[in-house]
A and B are shown apart, each in its own frame.
Chain A
Amino acid sequence: MAEKPDQTGKKLGMWLFLYTEIILFGGLFVLYAVYFSWYTPDFILGAKQLDLGFGLANTVILLVSSFLVAASITAVQKNQRPFALTALAGALVCGAVFLVNKYVEWGHKIEIGIFPGSEKLLDGPAPQNLFFGLYYVVTGLHGIHIVIGMVLLGVSFFLVLCRKITAQDDAVLDNCGLYWHLVDLIWIFIFPLFYLVV
Protein backbone atom coordinates (compact mmCIF):
# COMPACT_ATOMS: atom_id res chain seq x y z
CA MET A 1 0.00 0.00 0.00
CA ALA A 2 1.30 3.45 -0.92
CA GLU A 3 2.34 5.77 1.87
CA LYS A 4 -0.45 8.02 3.05
CA PRO A 5 -0.02 11.67 2.04
CA ASP A 6 0.66 14.19 4.83
CA GLN A 7 -2.93 15.28 5.45
CA THR A 8 -2.19 16.99 8.76
CA GLY A 9 0.52 19.24 7.33
CA LYS A 10 -1.66 20.29 4.40
CA LYS A 11 -4.56 21.13 6.68
CA LEU A 12 -2.44 23.05 9.18
CA GLY A 13 -1.03 25.13 6.32
CA MET A 14 -4.53 25.97 5.16
CA TRP A 15 -5.67 26.97 8.63
CA LEU A 16 -2.63 29.24 9.06
CA PHE A 17 -3.63 30.98 5.83
CA LEU A 18 -7.23 31.29 7.05
CA TYR A 19 -5.99 33.11 10.19
CA THR A 20 -4.48 35.83 7.99
CA GLU A 21 -7.86 36.18 6.29
CA ILE A 22 -9.58 36.49 9.67
CA ILE A 23 -7.18 39.27 10.68
CA LEU A 24 -7.67 41.00 7.30
CA PHE A 25 -11.45 41.18 7.66
CA GLY A 26 -11.11 41.66 11.43
CA GLY A 27 -9.21 44.90 10.77
CA LEU A 28 -12.02 46.14 8.52
CA PHE A 29 -14.63 45.19 11.11
CA VAL A 30 -12.72 47.17 13.76
CA LEU A 31 -12.71 50.19 11.43
CA TYR A 32 -16.45 49.76 10.95
CA ALA A 33 -17.05 49.33 14.69
CA VAL A 34 -15.16 52.50 15.66
CA TYR A 35 -16.93 54.66 13.05
CA PHE A 36 -20.23 53.06 14.02
CA SER A 37 -19.68 54.02 17.66
CA TRP A 38 -18.81 57.59 16.63
CA TYR A 39 -21.53 58.14 14.05
CA THR A 40 -24.29 55.72 15.08
CA PRO A 41 -27.30 57.74 13.74
CA ASP A 42 -25.70 58.24 10.30
CA PHE A 43 -24.70 54.58 10.05
CA ILE A 44 -28.28 53.59 10.88
CA LEU A 45 -29.56 55.91 8.13
CA GLY A 46 -27.00 54.40 5.76
CA ALA A 47 -27.98 50.83 6.64
CA LYS A 48 -31.66 51.63 6.06
CA GLN A 49 -30.78 52.41 2.44
CA LEU A 50 -29.45 48.88 1.92
CA ASP A 51 -31.84 46.23 0.65
CA LEU A 52 -32.43 43.65 3.40
CA GLY A 53 -33.92 41.25 0.83
CA PHE A 54 -30.64 40.97 -1.05
CA GLY A 55 -28.64 40.59 2.15
CA LEU A 56 -30.96 37.90 3.49
CA ALA A 57 -31.11 36.01 0.18
CA ASN A 58 -27.33 36.00 -0.07
CA THR A 59 -27.03 34.77 3.53
CA VAL A 60 -29.32 31.81 2.79
CA ILE A 61 -27.53 31.10 -0.50
CA LEU A 62 -24.10 30.99 1.20
CA LEU A 63 -25.34 28.79 4.06
CA VAL A 64 -26.83 26.31 1.59
CA SER A 65 -23.62 26.35 -0.47
CA SER A 66 -21.54 25.65 2.64
CA PHE A 67 -23.81 22.70 3.43
CA LEU A 68 -23.34 21.39 -0.12
CA VAL A 69 -19.55 21.66 0.08
CA ALA A 70 -19.52 19.81 3.43
CA ALA A 71 -21.86 17.18 1.93
CA SER A 72 -19.51 16.73 -1.04
CA ILE A 73 -16.68 15.83 1.37
CA THR A 74 -18.90 13.25 3.10
CA ALA A 75 -19.89 11.90 -0.33
CA VAL A 76 -16.24 11.53 -1.40
CA GLN A 77 -15.51 9.67 1.83
CA LYS A 78 -18.42 7.35 1.14
CA ASN A 79 -17.27 6.84 -2.46
CA GLN A 80 -20.49 8.42 -3.75
CA ARG A 81 -18.77 10.30 -6.58
CA PRO A 82 -21.86 11.38 -8.56
CA PHE A 83 -23.40 12.94 -5.46
CA ALA A 84 -20.13 14.68 -4.60
CA LEU A 85 -20.05 16.18 -8.10
CA THR A 86 -23.70 17.24 -7.89
CA ALA A 87 -23.14 18.90 -4.50
CA LEU A 88 -20.06 20.77 -5.77
CA ALA A 89 -21.93 21.90 -8.89
CA GLY A 90 -24.78 23.08 -6.65
CA ALA A 91 -22.34 25.07 -4.52
CA LEU A 92 -20.90 26.67 -7.67
CA VAL A 93 -24.40 27.67 -8.79
CA CYS A 94 -25.00 29.20 -5.34
CA GLY A 95 -21.78 31.21 -5.70
CA ALA A 96 -22.85 32.44 -9.13
CA VAL A 97 -26.32 33.44 -7.88
CA PHE A 98 -24.67 35.30 -4.99
CA LEU A 99 -22.56 37.30 -7.44
CA VAL A 100 -25.55 38.07 -9.67
CA ASN A 101 -27.44 39.35 -6.61
CA LYS A 102 -24.45 41.48 -5.68
CA TYR A 103 -24.28 42.85 -9.23
CA VAL A 104 -27.96 43.82 -9.20
CA GLU A 105 -27.65 45.29 -5.69
CA TRP A 106 -24.55 47.36 -6.50
CA GLY A 107 -26.00 48.32 -9.89
CA HIS A 108 -29.09 49.78 -8.25
CA LYS A 109 -27.00 51.68 -5.69
CA ILE A 110 -24.80 53.13 -8.41
CA GLU A 111 -27.88 54.06 -10.45
CA ILE A 112 -29.28 56.18 -7.61
CA GLY A 113 -25.92 57.89 -7.15
CA ILE A 114 -24.56 55.96 -4.18
CA PHE A 115 -20.99 55.02 -4.99
CA PRO A 116 -17.52 56.10 -3.77
CA GLY A 117 -16.85 59.66 -4.88
CA SER A 118 -20.41 60.29 -6.13
CA GLU A 119 -21.83 63.83 -5.84
CA LYS A 120 -24.69 62.58 -3.70
CA LEU A 121 -22.31 61.12 -1.10
CA LEU A 122 -19.77 63.95 -1.25
CA ASP A 123 -22.48 66.61 -0.76
CA GLY A 124 -24.31 64.61 1.92
CA PRO A 125 -23.25 63.99 5.53
CA ALA A 126 -19.63 62.80 5.73
CA PRO A 127 -20.35 59.76 7.98
CA GLN A 128 -22.76 58.33 5.41
CA ASN A 129 -19.99 58.60 2.83
CA LEU A 130 -17.86 56.61 5.30
CA PHE A 131 -20.60 53.98 5.71
CA PHE A 132 -20.95 53.40 2.00
CA GLY A 133 -17.18 53.50 1.50
CA LEU A 134 -16.85 50.67 4.02
CA TYR A 135 -19.84 48.90 2.47
CA TYR A 136 -18.19 48.84 -0.95
CA VAL A 137 -14.74 47.89 0.36
CA VAL A 138 -15.94 45.09 2.65
CA THR A 139 -18.57 43.56 0.34
CA GLY A 140 -16.24 44.06 -2.65
CA LEU A 141 -13.35 42.29 -0.94
CA HIS A 142 -15.75 39.56 0.13
CA GLY A 143 -17.00 39.30 -3.48
CA ILE A 144 -13.42 38.78 -4.69
CA HIS A 145 -13.14 35.96 -2.14
CA ILE A 146 -16.32 34.41 -3.56
CA VAL A 147 -14.77 34.45 -7.03
CA ILE A 148 -11.55 32.84 -5.74
CA GLY A 149 -13.61 30.30 -3.78
CA MET A 150 -15.58 29.43 -6.92
CA VAL A 151 -12.36 28.86 -8.84
CA LEU A 152 -11.17 26.54 -6.06
CA LEU A 153 -14.49 24.67 -6.04
CA GLY A 154 -14.29 24.38 -9.83
CA VAL A 155 -10.81 22.87 -9.55
CA SER A 156 -12.08 20.45 -6.90
CA PHE A 157 -15.00 19.47 -9.14
CA PHE A 158 -12.58 18.74 -11.97
CA LEU A 159 -10.26 16.72 -9.70
CA VAL A 160 -13.16 14.64 -8.34
CA LEU A 161 -14.26 14.07 -11.93
CA CYS A 162 -10.74 12.86 -12.88
CA ARG A 163 -10.60 10.68 -9.77
CA LYS A 164 -7.66 12.69 -8.44
CA ILE A 165 -9.61 13.42 -5.27
CA THR A 166 -10.51 10.16 -3.59
CA ALA A 167 -11.54 8.91 -0.17
CA GLN A 168 -7.84 8.18 0.52
CA ASP A 169 -6.57 11.59 -0.55
CA ASP A 170 -9.11 14.37 -0.24
CA ALA A 171 -6.88 17.11 1.22
CA VAL A 172 -7.42 19.40 -1.79
CA LEU A 173 -11.20 19.19 -1.54
CA ASP A 174 -10.99 19.60 2.23
CA ASN A 175 -8.85 22.74 1.95
CA CYS A 176 -10.94 24.27 -0.84
CA GLY A 177 -13.96 23.54 1.35
CA LEU A 178 -12.32 25.24 4.33
CA TYR A 179 -11.74 28.36 2.22
CA TRP A 180 -15.38 28.39 1.08
CA HIS A 181 -16.64 27.98 4.65
CA LEU A 182 -14.44 30.89 5.78
CA VAL A 183 -15.98 33.08 3.08
CA ASP A 184 -19.39 32.05 4.46
CA LEU A 185 -18.18 32.73 8.01
CA ILE A 186 -17.15 36.27 7.11
CA TRP A 187 -20.54 36.93 5.47
CA ILE A 188 -22.24 35.75 8.69
CA PHE A 189 -20.72 38.85 10.33
CA ILE A 190 -21.06 41.22 7.36
CA PHE A 191 -24.82 40.60 7.11
CA PRO A 192 -25.89 41.87 10.56
CA LEU A 193 -23.26 44.63 10.66
CA PHE A 194 -24.35 46.25 7.43
CA TYR A 195 -27.93 45.17 6.82
CA LEU A 196 -29.44 44.76 10.27
CA VAL A 197 -28.32 47.92 12.06
CA VAL A 198 -31.28 49.57 13.80
Chain B
Amino acid sequence: MAHASHIFSYKTLGLALGALLVLTGVTVGASYIDLGWINVWIALVIASTKAGLVLVVFMHIKSAGKGVVVSFLSTVCFLAIMIGFIFWDVAFR
Protein backbone atom coordinates (compact mmCIF):
# COMPACT_ATOMS: atom_id res chain seq x y z
CA MET B 1 0.00 0.00 0.00
CA ALA B 2 2.95 2.32 0.45
CA HIS B 3 3.01 2.86 -3.29
CA ALA B 4 -0.67 3.30 -3.85
CA SER B 5 -0.61 6.34 -1.56
CA HIS B 6 0.99 8.62 -4.13
CA ILE B 7 -1.20 7.76 -7.07
CA PHE B 8 -3.56 10.41 -8.28
CA SER B 9 -6.16 9.34 -10.82
CA TYR B 10 -5.88 10.73 -14.36
CA LYS B 11 -9.08 12.65 -13.66
CA THR B 12 -7.59 14.43 -10.62
CA LEU B 13 -4.43 15.25 -12.57
CA GLY B 14 -6.53 16.53 -15.47
CA LEU B 15 -8.63 18.72 -13.17
CA ALA B 16 -5.44 20.17 -11.66
CA LEU B 17 -4.13 20.94 -15.16
CA GLY B 18 -7.43 22.61 -16.03
CA ALA B 19 -7.30 24.74 -12.88
CA LEU B 20 -3.68 25.71 -13.62
CA LEU B 21 -4.58 26.78 -17.17
CA VAL B 22 -7.57 28.80 -15.93
CA LEU B 23 -5.38 30.53 -13.31
CA THR B 24 -2.84 31.33 -16.04
CA GLY B 25 -5.66 32.98 -17.99
CA VAL B 26 -6.76 34.90 -14.90
CA THR B 27 -3.25 36.19 -14.19
CA VAL B 28 -2.84 37.37 -17.80
CA GLY B 29 -6.29 39.01 -17.72
CA ALA B 30 -5.56 40.71 -14.38
CA SER B 31 -2.35 42.20 -15.79
CA TYR B 32 -4.42 44.24 -18.26
CA ILE B 33 -6.27 46.00 -15.43
CA ASP B 34 -4.07 48.76 -14.04
CA LEU B 35 -4.38 48.72 -10.24
CA GLY B 36 -0.92 50.09 -9.49
CA TRP B 37 1.11 48.22 -6.87
CA ILE B 38 -1.80 45.81 -6.22
CA ASN B 39 -1.10 44.18 -9.60
CA VAL B 40 2.16 42.72 -8.33
CA TRP B 41 0.42 41.20 -5.31
CA ILE B 42 -2.41 39.75 -7.42
CA ALA B 43 0.19 38.14 -9.71
CA LEU B 44 2.10 36.73 -6.73
CA VAL B 45 -1.02 35.37 -5.03
CA ILE B 46 -2.14 33.62 -8.25
CA ALA B 47 1.39 32.27 -8.83
CA SER B 48 1.51 30.95 -5.24
CA THR B 49 -1.88 29.28 -5.69
CA LYS B 50 -0.63 27.61 -8.87
CA ALA B 51 2.56 26.55 -7.07
CA GLY B 52 0.43 25.04 -4.30
CA LEU B 53 -1.57 23.02 -6.84
CA VAL B 54 1.61 21.70 -8.47
CA LEU B 55 3.06 20.80 -5.05
CA VAL B 56 -0.01 19.00 -3.76
CA VAL B 57 -1.25 17.24 -6.91
CA PHE B 58 1.68 16.83 -9.31
CA MET B 59 4.44 16.54 -6.70
CA HIS B 60 2.13 14.76 -4.20
CA ILE B 61 4.09 16.36 -1.36
CA LYS B 62 1.67 15.06 1.28
CA SER B 63 2.49 11.42 0.53
CA ALA B 64 6.22 12.16 0.94
CA GLY B 65 5.68 12.35 4.69
CA LYS B 66 5.62 14.90 7.45
CA GLY B 67 9.38 15.42 7.31
CA VAL B 68 9.20 16.67 3.74
CA VAL B 69 6.16 18.89 4.38
CA VAL B 70 7.79 20.50 7.45
CA SER B 71 11.19 20.95 5.79
CA PHE B 72 9.55 22.41 2.67
CA LEU B 73 7.60 24.93 4.73
CA SER B 74 10.81 25.75 6.62
CA THR B 75 12.53 26.49 3.31
CA VAL B 76 9.69 28.83 2.31
CA CYS B 77 9.91 30.51 5.74
CA PHE B 78 13.65 30.95 5.31
CA LEU B 79 13.05 32.52 1.90
CA ALA B 80 10.43 34.84 3.41
CA ILE B 81 12.86 35.88 6.17
CA MET B 82 15.57 36.52 3.56
CA ILE B 83 13.21 38.62 1.43
CA GLY B 84 11.84 40.43 4.50
CA PHE B 85 15.23 41.37 5.91
CA ILE B 86 16.61 42.48 2.56
CA PHE B 87 13.62 44.77 1.99
CA TRP B 88 13.95 46.05 5.54
CA ASP B 89 17.57 46.89 4.85
CA VAL B 90 16.78 48.47 1.49
CA ALA B 91 13.88 50.55 2.89
CA PHE B 92 15.93 52.17 5.67
CA ARG B 93 19.11 52.99 3.79
Closest Cβ–Cβ distance, residue A178 to chain B (whole Å): 6
Q: Is the CB of A198 within 8 A of B34?
A: yes
Instruction: Please tell me if A56 contacts chain B, counting CB pairs below 8 Å.
Output: yes
Q: Is the CB of A56 within 8 A of B28?
A: yes
Instruction: Please tell me if A170 contacts chain B, counting CB pairs below 8 Å.
Output: yes
Determine the chain B residues whose CB is within 8 A of the CB of A19 once the complex forms: 71-72, 75
Would A67 and B13 be within 8 Å (CB), given that A192-B27, A198-B31 are in contact? Answer: yes
> In this complex, what residue of A is CB-closest to B35?
A198
Instruction: Please tell me if A34 contacts chain B, counting CB pairs below 8 Å.
Output: yes
Closest Cβ–Cβ distance, residue A1 to chain B (whole Å): 13
In the assembled complex, the Cα of A89 lies from the Cα of B4 at a distance in Å of 24
Would A189 and B83 be within 8 Å (CB), given that A12-B68, A70-B8, A74-B7 are in contact? Answer: no
Q: Is the CB of A168 within 8 A of B3?
A: yes
- Interface flags for A37-79 (1: CB within 8 Å of B; 0: not) read 1100000000000001000100110011011011101100110
In the assembled complex, the Cα of A27 lies from the Cα of B46 at a distance in Å of 21
Closest Cβ–Cβ distance, residue A80 to chain B (whole Å): 10
Determine the chain B residues whose CB is within 8 A of the CB of A7 once the complex forms: 2-3
Count contacts on A: residues with CB < 8 A to the other chain. 51
In the assembled complex, the Cα of A16 lies from the Cα of B28 at a distance in Å of 33
In the assembled complex, the Cα of A37 lies from the Cα of B40 at a distance in Å of 11
- Interface flags for A90-128 (1: CB within 8 Å of B; 0: not) read 000000000000000000000000000000000000000
In the assembled complex, the Cα of A67 lies from the Cα of B59 at a distance in Å of 10
Q: Within the complex, which residue of A26, A56, A189 is in contact with B47, where a contact is CB–CB below 8 Å?
A: A189
Q: Which of A26, A36, A69 has most chain B Cβ within 10 Å?
A: A26
In the assembled complex, the Cα of A134 lies from the Cα of B88 at a distance in Å of 22
Instruction: Please tell me if A81 contacts chain B, counting CB pairs below 8 Å.
Output: no
Would A15 and B79 be within 8 Å (CB), given that A60-B24, A198-B39 are in contact? Answer: no
Closest Cβ–Cβ distance, residue A127 to chain B (whole Å): 15
Determine the chain B residues whose CB is within 8 A of the CB of A193 once the complex forms: 43
Q: Is the CB of A52 within 8 A of B58?
A: no
In the assembled complex, the Cα of A12 lies from the Cα of B71 at a distance in Å of 10
> In this complex, what residue of B is CB-closest to A78?
B7
- Interface flags for B3-43 (1: CB within 8 Å of A; 0: not) read 11011111001101100110010011001101000011001
Q: Is the CB of A196 within 8 A of B43?
A: yes
Considering the complex, which residues of chain A in the window 1-46 have a beta carbon less than 8 Å from any beta carbon of chain B?
A: 4, 7-8, 11-12, 15-16, 19, 22-23, 26-27, 30, 33-34, 36-38
Known interface pairs A67-B58, A192-B47; 10 further A-B residue pairs with C-beta atoms within 8 A, sorted by A's residue number: A11-B65, A11-B68, A27-B82, A34-B90, A52-B28, A67-B17, A69-B58, A70-B57, A182-B59, A198-B34
